[in-house]
Amino acid sequence: MKYAIVDIETDGGVKITEISIFIFDGEQVVDEFTTLINPGTSIPPYITRLTGINNFMVKDAPKFEEVAKRIYQITEDCVFVAHNVNFDYGIIGKEFKSLGLTYRRKKLCSVRLSRKLLPGKRSYSLGKLCISEGIEIKARHRARGDAEATVILFKKLLSIDELNDFEVINSFLNPRSREATLPPLLPKNVFESLSEKHGVYYFWNKNKEIIYVGKANNIKQRVVSHFHDKKKREIEMCLATANITFTETGSELIALLEESAEIKRLFPKFNRAQRRTTTNFGLFSYKDRKGVMHLAWNNVKMISQPIMRFYTVAQARSFVENLCKEFQLCPKYCHLQTNVNSCFHYQIKECKGVCREEEAIEEYNKRVMQAIDSITFKTDNFVITEQGKTSDELSYALVINGVYEGYGYIDKNQQNNSTSEVYFERLKPQKDNQDIRRIINAHVKKNPESVLPIEHKALGSLF
């Protein structure tokens, strides 16, 4: 068996600036290919400080397409080996994909192999691992220096595994094994214990910090999709993941609500959406002197009772654009097109002509009210019921006086209870916010049969 031991340097993104490949036959290096690569982008200063590779060095270097054939041929019929293999393999795969080509090789991760064959190390980064094993890296953070050190490390790992007839390496190469796709710091048993039901999952780094929160209808399946995602941010997140925990929720709705609440509570590094907690802009409506209803947005401090709240002006505008399209509203009266006598949408038949006095104002206002109704709760007090975590229970989300109160679980024989007391008894209180309202509105629109109006007594009588 031959191994292609690979290391790459990048521009900090997904473009390769240097690659080094050593072909190792199990005993010695039999071939090598090392070259700088012109990434076609500017190399940031912080990458130059780390690797020593600058724009001048790669200016006359070949582009990836010029060396792609050599890379493909030299690694053919070899097992692809790298420290954090999913990173190097993923970036190279992306480069080939950009040329319309597919690059597939069996792969081994020297980090995961080291964790198995050299247990108990404080760190499995290449630099620290080589120090602990007495391996000299002649040029750290350069492709050839790191690849050459990985060859020496891999040779040592082979010699250890050879005592047991290469049991570990063979198990990693087994197509049924997930070892090659798992993040290097994540134990296999942690992945294998993941649920395949609805729930919320948490990615933890080695410092026991939660770095990502997600929701899934099948937790294990969704987690695997992260490992196969080749986006730079996903790769970075997976490389940092050392543990995964989860909570089953019984239904997608509760998973969505809990995910949103947890992101706002924990502010994980790799969650971009739903991290913000302060809504600065609000949607409102008013009638002008002609009697035409307008939809507009402004700072929430200027609005007494906003129909909906937003984090940014861009978010507000995008939302109104979608309402305008769905209900054939006039962009002029939705403040999407200003300083115009009549809107452009009339010309493409997406506005019925209220701005040209060709549609009755009463008919237009009806559609504005329909648009507003579509984003507001139909009743102030209701409960949404879904399947629970077991076959004999239901999960529920509770809205009282138009405010989301939280979620909980009840026995199925209580599902038709028409008063709020039983739901408050088992409630996990949660905060209401714009993201939650978006989730609930979307669910109610799609699943109206899950909504049960309820009676609610004054809070003083509940406690």
Whole-number Cα distances in Å, 122 to 119, 149, 261, 313, 328: 9, 19, 34, 48, 62
Rounded-to-integer distance, Cα 276 and Cα 102, Å: 40
Yes or no: say if 265 and 435 are a contact pair by the CB < 8 Å rule: no
Residue in the block written with tokens 């239904």: 251
pLDDT value, residue 278? 67
- How many domains does the chain divide into? 4
Spatial contact of 197 and 219, defined as CB atoms under 8 Å apart = yes
Whether residue 180 lies inside any domain: the answer is no
Asked if residue 64 belongs to a domain, the reply is yes
Distance CA 78, CA 22 (A): 11
Residue 200 parent element (H or E): strand 199-204
pLDDT, tens digit, for every residue of 416-437?
A: 666 778 889 889 999 888 788 8
Instruction: Give the pLDDT band of residue 459 (cuts 50, 70, 90).
Output: very low
Whether 134 and 211 share a structural domain? no
Q: Which residue has the tokens 């209180």?
A: 429
Q: Are residues 152 and 129 in the same domain?
A: yes
Co-location of 107 and 194 in the same domain: no
pLDDT mean over 114-135: 92
164-219 pLDDT, tens digit per residue, is: 888 889 888 876 666 767 888 899 899 999 999 999 999 999 999 999 999 999 99
Greater model confidence, 183 or 68? 68
Domain boundary among 149, 173, 197: 173
Do residues 262 and 244 share a domain? yes
Residue 179 lies in a domain: no
Instruction: Please give the residue range of the domain that contains residue 410.
Output: 382-461
**Within 13 Å, how many C-alpha atoms sit on residue 397's CB side?**
27
- Rounded to whole angstroms, how far apart are CA atoms 219 and 348? 45
Global confidence as pTM: 0.68
If asked whether residues 37 and 163 sit together in one domain, one would say: yes
Residues 24 and 136 in one domain: yes
Q: What is the pLDDT of residue 45?
A: 94
Give the C-alpha separation, 7 to 118, whole Å. Answer: 21
- Return the residue matching tokens 């088992």: 426
Residues 50 and 195 in one domain: no
